[in-house]
Amino acid sequence: MAGEPTDHALERLVFFSDAVFAIAITLLVIEVHVPHVAHGSGDAAYLQALAYLIPNFIGFIVSFAVIGLFWAGHHRAFSLARRYDGGVVPWNLMLLGTIAFMPFVTAFVSAHQGARVPAVLYWSWLLLTAALNLKVNSFATRPPMVAPDLPPETAAAVRRRSRSVVLGAATAFAIAWIVPVAAPVGMATMPLWRWLLGRRVKRS
């Protein structure tokens, strides 16, 4: 029954989630194809071939960091959970679905660097992922899943971090419409959003 201590079920959920995160983050490198350079070519040809792959390298680094960020948040939230609740499963599966699709949107935006439609697709997908991440982490840090003796502020801090990711993704999404290539800067605003959310809590 939902809310009862079922450590095995909770562990299976976490292990499955970790596997999806690991597979998605590994698949990112598949889209960085080894360039074809004619045998006997000079150094300049190899350097030019690598330079051509710079958008793919950037896409890999950004998406690796993004998926790693979502995994860290998921890990942080579920480390506070002590009880299994089946209600979190559909939301967790939707979150994992968006994570599993990240290699495609990464490849698309990397292949069309600076184009508006690929950038908007990428950052809108990230915004959807962030929203689902907030839902899942909120589920995991509230009754009946959260440990009864956990300080409320600890759980609230996890949810605040998740909200800052949503706001950072929303900022990147907005920038993507105006200057697509600069959209990743929006994610750098997450510490600012977290600070503002923290100040709001202190004032209330």
SS (H, E, C) the chain: CCCCCCHHHHHHHHHHHHHHHHHHHHHHHHHCCCCCCCCCCCHHHHHHHHHHCHHHHHHHHHHHHHHHHHHHHHHHHHCCECCCCCCHHHHHHHHHHHHHCHHHHHHHHHHCCCCHHHHHHHHHHHHHHHHHHHHHHHHHCCCCCECCCCCHHHHHHHHHHHHHHHHHHHHHHHHHHHCHHHHHHHHHHHHHHHHHHHHHHHHC
Per-residue pLDDT tens over the stretch 86-111: 999 999 999 999 999 999 999 999 99
165 found inside a domain = yes
Higher pLDDT, 24 or 39: 24
Q: What is the pLDDT of residue 95?
A: 98
State the total domains in the chain. Answer: 1
13 found inside a domain = yes
Q: What is the pLDDT of residue 14?
A: 95
Range of the domain at 120: 7-203
Q: What is the pLDDT of residue 4?
A: 45
Higher pLDDT, 204 or 172: 172
Percentage of the chain exceeding pLDDT 90: 73
Per-residue pLDDT tens over the stretch 62-83: 999 999 999 999 999 999 998 9
1 found inside a domain = no
pLDDT band at 204 (very low <50, low <70, confident <90, very high): low
The region of weakest confidence among 3-17, 55-69, 91-105, 163-177 is: 3-17
Q: Which tokens in the block code for residue 71?
A: 């995994």
- The residue among 186, 134, 187, 142 whose CA lies nearest residue 160 is 134
2 found inside a domain = no
Higher pLDDT, 40 or 87: 87
Q: What is the pLDDT of residue 7?
A: 72
Indicate the average pLDDT of the chain: 91
Q: Go through 47-70 and write b for each residue having 16 or more CB atoms within 10 A of its CB, e for each that does not.
A: eeeeeebebbebbbebbbebbebb
Q: What is the pLDDT of residue 119?
A: 96
Output the CA–CA distances (angstroms, integers) from residue 67 to 27, 61, 73, 178, 194, in the order listed. Answer: 11, 10, 10, 24, 19
pTM: 0.89
Per-residue pLDDT tens over the stretch 181-197: 999 999 999 999 999 99
Residue 186: half-sphere exposure toward Cβ, Cα within 13 Å:
28
